[in-house]
């Protein structure tokens, strides 16, 4: 604690932070939000909305703002200093106010979330729960926010990098989750570490997540249990006090930058990463591969801007995703053809019924087409296996199971991430 700064803070007006604000402030103070050292001023805010960059050109896709109510905003002015307190009244930081403004929140919704649909939790928070006035300025830390639970596994970037160094780890795969882990998650992350000769950081969010999510106390107990399923010296658990926005593609890019700041060399990006589900018309807010597309576009910049200039010798960020289009497309096409061949040989389905599943095109739209067909063909295969089992056709059933096993084992983890994530979320 900075006693001198704490004493100084007694001279200023104070603002009690809400849950999201205190998560954001902690991530600014601990370096998780590097290069940010502030709540955004107006110029940076407008730049992030329009270009996903700060005014100085640094890549940053999500606006981090201190919102206050109108009554309080009339009591402060640019040039003032404001003490930021937690809900227990402890002083956490002082903000040197640069800007106070009334933002266009609907514009922010469209820029960050791509919608103003209130069924989106990020939009609902912004339009119906947040305060209407933004305050921007640099922050000076008084003390870290207090946590009374799981202190031994709450690491800031500096302490986590130190732990990696002590363990002798250099290649580290980060796996973010806001849900309990299941067998498929364990299998996927094990394959990731094996393929990349890396270690695993299970990095669950224990700040704000999606409304209705399992509480973090229950989830942490699950994570600790699942950790025993990994080989010794293969995985560690660390909690991150992040307030998610459920902003889909922009948030995936944000998560990658944050994990880079925490010292990770790899980051698993899943299907519809940080997506909030369906809109008011029953359609997904974001495409299943939108997160991979934006990361495929920006990953060289993350490596350049966040490794070389800020993290020195840490390894380049490699994004494990379904965006290896050629590999994923070839793999899916082969799997689909193998299922079609099996169905033609062993099932009641004729060739004309299967013609709709064939494709010879290429490109991202074809990946989606092949993926959808893969799910449909697997469903047909499962249905035929059930029929054959009822007729005691053991040899045919065994051959179907062999086909499914071979498809599972030959998939690289880069493809598994995208193709399995639908069943994981």
Instruction: Identify the CATH number of the domain in which residue 31 sits.
Output: 3.10.400.10
Boundary of a domain, candidates 80, 110, 141 = 141
* Domain end point (choices 262, 294, 320): 320
User: Do you know the residue count of the chain?
Assistant: 425
The CATH number assigned to the domain holding 169 equals 3.40.50.620
Distance CA 221, CA 214 (A): 12
- Does residue 216 belong to any structural domain of this protein? yes
Nearest to 251 by CA among 269, 274, 268, 270: 274
Of the two residues 142 and 275, the one the predictor is more confident about is 142
Give the phi and the psi of residue 266 in degrees, each rounded to 5: -140, 155
Q: Are residues 42 and 174 in the same domain?
A: no
Instruction: Looking at the structure, tell me whether residues 250 and 334 fall in a common domain.
Output: no
For range 356-363, the mean pLDDT: 58
Distances (CA, A) of 224 to 130, 206, 335, 422: 34, 14, 36, 24
CA-to-CA dists, residue 33 to 23, 40, 46, 354, angstroms: 11, 12, 18, 50
Same-domain pairing of 301 and 353: no
pLDDT at 161: 95
Looking at the structure, tell me whether residues 342 and 412 fall in a common domain.
yes
Distance between CA 262 and CA 201 in Å, rounded? 10
User: Residue 5: what are its φ and ψ, rounded to 5°?
Assistant: -70, -35
What is the helix, strand, coil percentage profile of the chain, to 5? 50, 15, 40
CA–CA gap between residue 18 and residue 370 (Å, rounded)? 45
- Domain shared by 316 and 396, yes or no: no
33 part of a folded domain: yes
Q: Is residue 162 part of a domain?
A: yes
pTM of the model: 0.73
CB 368 within 8 A of CB 289: yes
Cα 84 from chain centroid (whole Å): 28
Least confident among 123-127, 173-177, 196-200, 418-422: 418-422
Answer whether residue 330 is part of any domain: yes
3-state secondary structure of 191: helix
Mean pLDDT value of segment 308-320: 31
pLDDT at residue number 374 = 73
Model pLDDT, residue 296: 67
Whether residue 85 is predicted with pLDDT greater than 50 in this model: the reply is yes
Whether 360 and 279 share a structural domain: no
Mean pLDDT of the chain: 82
Task: Look at residue 259 and tell me if it is in a domain.
Answer: yes
What domain count does the chain have? 3
**C-alpha distances in Å from residue 174, one per residue of 188, 190, 299:** 12, 12, 15
Same domain (yes/no): 228, 114: no
Residues 298 and 395 in one domain: no
Between 155 and 189, the more confident residue is: 155
Upper half-sphere CA count for residue 196 (Cβ side, 13 Å): 29
User: Beta-carbon neighbour count of residue 217 at 10 Å?
Assistant: 10
Asked, for residue 146, whether it belongs to a domain, the answer is no
Q: Which pLDDT belongs to residue 329? A: 63
| Helical segments of 113-234, H only | 121-128, 157-167, 183-196, 216-227
Residues 107 and 184 both lie in one domain: no
Do 213 and 307 have their domain in common?
Answer: yes
pLDDT class of 339 with cuts at 50, 70, 90: confident
Percent of the chain with pLDDT over 70: 83
The answer to whether residues 369 and 223 belong to one domain is no
Residue 35 lies in a domain: yes
109 and 200 fall within a common domain: no
- Domain of residue 131, residue span: 3-141
**102 to 36, 74, 121, 134: CA distances (angstroms):** 21, 12, 22, 6
Tally of CA atoms within 13 A in the half-sphere of 25 that contains its CB: 30
Query: 367 pLDDT band (50/70/90 cuts)?
Result: low
- Residues marked active site are found at 177-179
Q: Averaged over 378-403, what is the pLDDT?
A: 76
**Maximum mean pLDDT: which of 58-67, 169-178, 272-281, 321-330:** 58-67
Of the candidate ranges 235-249, 259-273, 295-309, 365-379, the one whose mean pLDDT is the lowest: 295-309
The last residue of one of the domains, among 96, 112, 141, is 141
- For 165, other C-beta atoms within 10 Å of its C-beta total 11
Which pLDDT belongs to residue 208?
83
């Amino acid at each position: 604690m900075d006693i001198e700064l704490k004493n100084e803070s007694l001279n200023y007006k104070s603002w009690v932070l809400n849950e999201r604000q205190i998560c954001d402030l902690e991530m600014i103070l601990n370096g998780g939000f590097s290069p940010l050292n502030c709540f955004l001023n107006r110029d940076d805010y407008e730049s992030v909305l329009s270009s996903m960059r700060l005014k100085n050109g640094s890549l940053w896709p999500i606006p981090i703002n201190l919102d206050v109510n109108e009554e309080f905003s009339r009591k402060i002015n640019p040039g003032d200093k404001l003490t930021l307190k937690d809900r227990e009244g402890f002083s956490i930081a002082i903000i040197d106010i640069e800007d106070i403004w009334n933002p266009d929140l609907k514009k922010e919704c469209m820029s960050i979330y791509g919608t103003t649909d209130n069924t989106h939790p990020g939009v609902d928070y912004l339009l119906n729960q947040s305060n209407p006035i933004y305050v921007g300025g640099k922050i000076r830390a008084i003390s870290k926010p207090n946590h009374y639970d799981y202190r031994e596994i709450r690491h800031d970037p500096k302490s986590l990098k130190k732990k990696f160094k002590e363990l002798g780890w250099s290649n580290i795969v980060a796996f973010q989750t806001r849900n309990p882990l299941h067998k498929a998650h364990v299998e996927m992350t094990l394959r990731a570490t094996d393929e990349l000769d890396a270690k695993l950081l299970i990095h669950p969010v224990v700040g704000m997540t999606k409304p209705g999510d399992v509480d973090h106390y229950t989830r942490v107990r699950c994570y600790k249990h699942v950790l025993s399923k990994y080989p010794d010296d293969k995985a560690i658990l660390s909690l991150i006090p992040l307030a998610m926005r459920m902003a889909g593609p922009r948030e995936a890019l944000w998560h990658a930058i944050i994990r880079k700041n925490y010292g990770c060399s790899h980051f698993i990006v899943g299907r519809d990463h940080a997506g909030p589900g369906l809109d008011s018309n029953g359609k997904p807010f974001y495409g299943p591969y939108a997160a991979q597309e934006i990361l495929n576009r920006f990953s060289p910049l993350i490596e350049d801007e966040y490794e070389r200039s800020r993290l020195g010798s840490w390894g380049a960020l490699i994004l494990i995703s379904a965006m290896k289009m050629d590999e994923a497309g070839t793999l899916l096409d082969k799997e689909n053809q193998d299922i079609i061949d099996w169905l033609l040989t062993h099932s009641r389905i004729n060739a004309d019924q299967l013609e709709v599943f064939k494709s010879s095109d290429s490109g991202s739209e074809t990946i989606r087409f092949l993926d959808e067909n893969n799910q449909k063909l697997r469903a047909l295969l499962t249905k035929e296996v059930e029929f054959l089992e009822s007729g005691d056709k053991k040899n045919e059933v065994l051959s179907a199971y062999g086909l499914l096993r071979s498809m599972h084992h030959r998939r690289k983890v880069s493809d598994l991430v995208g193709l399995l994530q639908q069943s994981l979320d």
